Structure 1
Amino acid sequence: MNFLNEVTHRYPETISFAPGRPYDGFFEVEQIFTHIRRYLRHLEEQGASPAEIRDTLFQYGPTGGRIRELIADSLRKDENIDVPPEAVVVTVGCQEAMFLALRALVSMPEDVLLVSSPCYPGITGAARILGFEPTPVPERAAGFHCADLQTALAAERARGRRPRAFYVVPDHSNPSGNTMSLEERHSLLELADREDILVLEDSPYRLVSPGQQVPTLKSLDRYRRVVHLGSYSKTLFPGARVGFAVADQHVVDREGNAGLLADELTKLKSMVTVNTSPLAQAVVGGMLLAADGRTSDLNAETSAHYGAAMKAVLKELDANFPERDRAALGVRWNEPGGGFFLGVDVPFRADNAALVRSAEEYGVVWTPMSYFHPQGGGERSLRLSISYLTHDDIVEGIARLARFIRAEAPGGD
């Protein structure tokens, strides 16, 4: 990813389909102060004294977070996830939530984390920092299938290893854009209960995607097998770096004390970041209060924008690669109904060298899909992000990409 950033900065005039950043057009600086004031009024209405309000902003605060109640209320209204506030841990972005969950669950040499592959590199990076390699479960063209996880679990147990958890982005996943069907979600939950593993559900793109969404794994979970990892970076305010983990599983610690998995994550957090910035929590808390916890309402315009951007990319791909040409060229892509990403299969190695040629000669940047495969794969695929570009940039960018792909194809210009 450092190489990708280097290429982008080396060729600043390129059109970049690489960054999965939210669109800047939705942010106004003055909103920050409005949200903080709203949160402070909320504290006052709750009976907090001026000294307590001051401490809320200036002091460290509880490790588990100051806005757990607001997050739990929002999850109930937005996602039908009904958990007590004490099952929520407020984290520094979703990345810390991942790190804490892995540290809590994978502690012995025989413990194994499985990941749906291709996958978000943040989870594999966190695993490597903690000293272990995750086991990939390859996605099919249409996305995740439980049968493939079942096979991987059996293989790991045959090696004398203990599968602990399976990480997946079930909705509009990064990088493929695929969404898990409702049937597969039910099958996954039944499999997790039968095989005694947890599911780490990371789903940041649901509420910035148009239309009715498939229920979250956590809302369908009747076995307490899902640890839901969340973030407000895509839905509210990326710069706040506020995420959360929902971990309502009952556990017994090494001293024999019963509690929630969230308590264990909080203990770990106290040794990592101590707490999440109270000022950042105040901004997010004010935004949640503004929408009465319904972030889906706050994101109506946002989801429409991203939905239109995805449609524009798909329309331009269709226009630049007529159906009669696709088979001959060896070009294919999927058609996500939301999220920030889609995958394009190409008839050449989409590696770093190809990326440099694309930027230097054609003025367009993308992400090699191989970046997202933990143990190899994706060498002839690339990821396109639709989130950060205007409509005009999309039209011109796809035209440049098409010229590059045609030139790189065997027998091309």
Structure 2
Amino acid sequence: MRPTVTRLDRASLHGSLHDPVLGSIGFLNEVMQRHPGTISFAPGAPHPDLLPDTGLQRYVDRFVDHLVDDRGLTPERARRLLREYGPSRGLINELVAEALARDYGIAAGPGAVVITVGAQEAMLLVLRTLFGSPDDLLAVANPCFVGITGAARLLDIDVVGVRETADGIDPDCLAGLCAAARGAGRRVRACYVAPDFSNPGGGRMSLACRQELLRLAEREDFLVLEDNAYGFTAPSGCELPMLKSLDSTGRVVHIGTFAKIAFPGARVGYVVADQTVTGPCGGTRLLADELAVVKGMVTVNTSPLSQAVVAGMLLDHGGSLIALSRDKSRLYRRNLECLIAALDRHLTGAAPGVRWNRPDGGFFVRLRLPVPVTTGLLERCATEYGVLWTPMAPFYTDASGDHELRLSCSYLSPDQIETGVRRLARFLRTEVRP
């Protein structure tokens, strides 16, 4: 007699699995696999030429030497650390804290840092820890990175979108959302922003807007979740202070990643959470301590070997995040300049109503079309014109992105960018009618 095969009703699984936000990345990967010969402006991945071209062991050895020479461990103990689980909060916290203080003026000690499995885990840990009531709302810039909205959906956290202006998130809109939440018996618990060249919008928050956001967070009693994935691509001399470095009242939880400045395969990120948490008996600890508790139940720890590689790369550059990212920043600025110049040459007048933004840094340019940007339009562009891009609709909390697409230039060469934009112009001239 054959055994009965268990069948599960998908409707009985968590509702997030039906959410198009969670399916958007998988859909793009599927399209790329079906059209391997296309030029793809879809992935916001680091350029392959920037991946380490030497054996990773030398970086591990560099970190071990640091543990022995600078931290006083025996060679045996130092190497054993890399083969054990390790503490949930991380092994390289001191190096990261020192680099953030030296490079960006973020004065938080190693005890306020948790090393995570990429920035994505940092977002999940922060949301799970902070959002203790179903009445709590997460405010996000609109459009917004699907990693944070997807994590919120997994955790059943309600999200509200905040309008963006040319200077960044609109403080008046956010203040209105806070008031509306209070009126409904709820509260905005935190606001997520990527102030420097955000994914996917490419926008940058002005200094005045940063300062106003922090004042608003203090008045309305919410936390600011700062994602700093792309700040390193700012043109030299045009850097702006991070929100965390401007934070004088402990309102900012800062999230960072080594994916773009080291390499993504390491899967190492970090979160700076120096807020004080008061216990029922009056005792206090840091928010980072609470994040480490949650992490212990999610991934136990971040791979010690991955941390060692990243730390060795950081030490090779004098312990400086800026020095580690300098060559990468030059390449990405070159690619962005190539993309914008190619759009100016080939898309100007290609189709009525087509327009694009002109960010000064980051990986992304946003294109607006006079027609809805559908998956069918993407399939036709890939099949008949050999070029891929990303629909913007999943990045929005409303329907305002239905006519937009995102172009990423990070993974391509200048020649590929030029060819891809020519193909895109031909597609627009032929297929797009207002």
TM-score w.r.t. length of structure 1: 0.96
CA contact (8 A) 1:209 1:304 kept: no
Q: Deviations over 1:110-165 (max 9, x none)?
A: 11111111100010111111112211112235542211111111111111102110
CA displacement 1:354-390 (0-9 Å, x = unmatched): 1001101110000001020133330101001010000
Contact 1:127 1:133 in 2 (8 A): yes
Cα RMSD, aligned residues only: 1.4
Shift of 1:26: 1.5
Match of 2:363 in 1: 340
- Identify if the C-alpha distance between structure 1 residues 356 and 255 changes in structure 2 by more than 3 Å, giving closer, same or farther: farther
Q: Is the 1:124–1:133 Cα contact (8 Å) retained in structure 2?
A: no
Does the CA-based 8 Å contact 1:321-1:402 persist in structure 2? yes
| Aligned twin of 1:363 | 386
Listed as ranges, the matches of 1:248-263 within 5 Å are: 248-254=274-280, 256-263=282-289
3-state SS of paired residue (1:30): coil
Give how far 1:207 is off.
Answer: 1.4
Give the match for residue 113 of structure 1.
Answer: 138
CA-to-aligned-CA distance 1:150-193 (integer Å, 9 cap, x gap) = 11111111111021100011100000100000000000000001
Q: Which residue of 1 aligns with 2:36?
A: 12
Query: Could you tell me how far apart the structure 1 residues matched to 2:367 and 2:327 are?
Result: 27
What residue identity is the alignment partner of 2:46?
P
- Gap regions ≥5 residues in structure 1: none
Counterpart position of 1:380: 403
C-alpha separation in 1, matches of 2:166 and 2:407: 16
Equivalent in the alignment of 2:50: 26
Deviates more, 1:218-227 or 1:155-164: 155-164
2:321 match:
295
SS in structure 1 opposite 2:82?
helix
Q: What SS does the corresponding residue of 1:163 show, helix, strand or coil? A: strand
Distance 1:337 1:138 in 2: 21
Q: 2:344 aligns with which of 301, 314, 318?
A: 318
Aligned partner of 1:140 in structure 2 is: 165
Percent sequence identity is 49
Contact between 1:247 and 1:262, CA under 8 Å: does it hold in 2? Answer: yes
**Cα separation, 2, equivalents of 1:256 and 1:99:** 27
Distance 1:28 1:99 in 2: 28
Aligned to 1:227: 253
* Cα drift, residue 29 of structure 1: 4.5
Q: CA deviation at 1:312?
A: 0.6
Does 1:181 find its partner at 2:206? yes
Question: Is 1:304 the counterpart of 2:330 in the alignment?
Answer: yes
Equivalent residue letter for 2:29:
N
Q: 1:43 aligns with which of 67, 81, 97?
A: 67
CA gap 1:400/1:255 in 2 versus in 1, 3 angstroms: farther
- What are the Cα deviations for residues 49-77 of structure 1, in whole angstroms up to 9, with x where unaligned? 13311321111111111100000011012
1:84 and 2:109 aligned:
yes
- The separation in 2 between residues aligned to 1:255 and 1:17, in whole angstroms, is 54
Opposite residue 190 of structure 1, the aligned amino acid is R
CA distance in 2: counterparts of 1:233 and 1:340, whole angstroms: 13
Structure 1: which amino acid aligns with 2:320? R
Q: Deviations over 1:284-333 (max 9, x none)?
A: 111111112212112222111110110111111111133xx37x710111
SS of residue matched to 1:235 = coil
Secondary structure in 1 matching 2:137: strand
Deviations 1:26-48, CA, capped at 9 Å, x for gaps: 22342412211100111111221
Q: Which moved more, 1:23-32 or 1:5-14?
A: 23-32
Contact 2:277 2:285 in 1 (8 A): yes
Q: Secondary structure at the match of 2:309?
A: helix
Could you tell me which residue of structure 2 aligns to residue 159 of structure 1? 184
Q: What is the distance in 2 between the residues matched to 1:47 and 1:179?
A: 43
In 2: Cα distance, 1:22 partner to 1:31 partner? 19
